[in-house]
A and B are shown apart, each in its own frame.
Chain A
Amino acid sequence: MSWGLEDVRVTRGRKVAIAGVAVPVDPSRITVVVGGDGAGKSTCLQALVGLLQPESGIVRRPAKDRIGYVPATAGLYADLTVSENTDFTADAYRMPGAERDRKAAEILGWIGLAGARRRLGGQLSGGMQRKLAVGLALLHSPELLVLDEPTTGVDPVSRAELWQLISRAAAAGTAVAVATTYVNEAVRAASVVLLEAGKVLASGSPDDILRAVPGAVGSALGAVRPTPQSWRRGPSWRVWAASGGLPDGTQPVQPDFEDAVVVAELAHEPGR
């Protein structure tokens, strides 16, 4: 069964948070919702898990006992030990005794906390806390796993470990939706939804999005910004020409996913 949002519109007060947004979330696949701050990523995920009521559109999700959710905040109880956190989650999902022990041991082993069961959640490092939060969301083997910026503020090693955990869940058949601000994380996904100001700029597989980059992208050197539609990539400039005609002194390059995201934003808002 596939989950997700179809043509969903959510308002917060008088402000339209997202409009006409579709986020497909399929079993065994990872869907990444990528965008800047205020793009509407959290709104999408909150509508998906039922925390927000959409004004219109269709939301497909499994029953509550088959959803795992980690909000953008800690996602665990800082004043409870690691074991007490797993016990509380297992109780909330009414997991039988033998299964909860087996799953807790398995997940704590994956995230390297098997020897830290008595440590308070608040005493763990930021990366460890996020790994434990994702682990807790996986404890009851959910059909739909929804993670709101699980890697924000996490060191690169912990980030890689978190993605291993997420990939492991998808490999086991879970449908996974992840919100992130890190464009490079989107390439790990089977499906990407690029959001900007509550609207979808592009969606599909990373390859689909790359193939759909309009115009031409080039690389230029120099201290001065070559055109208004240029942006810094390391020591050089990336230049996008919507018409396909790059300015003189610009070498054509094959755009990568980060270029594709910037181009999508520029194409959506030319004056940016």
Chain B
Amino acid sequence: MVFKEFRELRRDRRTMAMMIVLPVVLLVVFGYAANFKVHDIPTIVVGPQARQAAAALHAPTFRVTQLNAAAGESVAQAKLRDGQAVVAVVTGAGGPLVLMDGTQLFSVETAETALARLSPPAGSPPVRVKILYDPDLTTSWVMVPGLAGLILVFIGTLITSLGVVRERQAGTLEQLAVMPLRAWDVIAGKIAPYLMVAVVDLILIIAIGMGVFHVPFAGNVGVFALGAVLFLLVTLGMGVLVSTVSQNQGQAIQLAFMIVLPQVLLSGLIFPVSSMAAGVRWISYVLPLTYFIDISRGVMLKAAPISALWQPLGLLALLAVVVLGLAITRFRRDLAPASRQSPASAPARELAET
């Protein structure tokens, strides 16, 4: 029985990879990503004493990305809202004012501790700290917009892939390929119901977040909806892609799991992307959840306008084009193999009436 099981396991390469390679990869990746010790907090310093203040902000906790003696509090706030900085130090007559982006819980807590350790010159006015967007650092305010995305990744990728694989296992995909349906009709027909259900899910999650956890929705619903639809197109495309390389529902679940798991730790949902080791940080930048979190937290908590979110929106749109394009290409190949080019050396003639 043991030998039989090992023999079966050896031939199921995907399960073997999941059992042996995946834990090693995940441990290494997550080991570098899961980092409660935050450093390199993006910081801007503005106002007349910007240079002196910047000199007091030590590395590695703070990474001063911008220094502008001519700018004031309004510019600093805009930079925080647009996600270009997590901490902004505003210098001026009334003493330094430190603004912090409350949506970055770990970064704010680390920055507060680091600031408390600073020893200002005797007689200088005290440092004032103002936390924006989530002044009480309520965890649920920050988590709900991100969790909404995580739930949608799960539903979009897993459920869509299962839906397509079920059709393949039942043999009905073969029939669809023979029916007078265009490949695009089949793909759109498969995706549309999941897209609609996912939209309903998203509305429910946000409503529960607002009703139960009192998460604010400060920004524009249209911008949020645009980001959500782009994000859903990526996740549904990933679902179709998973289905095209899975022969059964078990394989689809395994692959979907491999796609969903990294997004939990590498998307910035829990740990700030800026604090991750450079070797794993690039993974964050190819995960759609990273950009959806920027958009959902930006719109819901910071009331960020579309002009502040063009980058995550644009990157999500790019991901949607790439992932859906790949998914459609592969799915079309499943549906219409006869339309592929035959080898030039041995031409086949297909005399199909039109």
Contact = CB atoms under 8 A, between A and B. Distances in A.
Contacts of B352: 50, 59, 61-64
A64 B179 contact: yes
Contact of B171 (A62, A71, A92): A71
Chain A interface bracket (under 10, 10 to 19, 20 to 34, 35 or more): 35 or more
Given A53-B337, A53-B338, A67 B347 contact: no
Nearest to A68: B178
Interface stretch (A72-80, A111-119, A208-216, A257-265): A72-80
Contacts, number: 94
A50 B174 CA distance: 10
A265 B171 CA distance: 31
Contacts of A61: 350-353
Interface in B156-190: 169-172, 174-181
B180 A53 contact: no
Interface in B330-347: 336-338, 340, 342-343, 346-347
B52 interface: no
A9 B343 CA distance: 12
Given A63-B354, A92-B179, A51 B174 contact: yes
B349 interface: yes
Contacts of A242: none
A93 B180 CA distance: 7
Contacts of B2: none
B348 A56 contact: yes
A221 interface: no
A82 interface: no
B178 A59 contact: no
A57 interface: yes
Contacts of A62: 352-353
21 contacts: A8-B348, A51-B174, A51-B177, A51-B338, A52-B337, A53-B337, A55-B348, A58-B349, A58-B350, A58-B351, A59-B350, A60-B351, A63-B354, A70-B175, A71-B175, A72-B171, A74-B171, A74-B172, A75-B172, A76-B172, A92-B176
Interface of A: 1, 8-9, 46, 49-67, 69-78, 92-94
Q: Which 8 A-B pairs have the closest CB atoms?
A: A73-B171, A50-B338, A65-B180, A64-B180, A71-B171, A56-B346, A54-B348, A69-B178
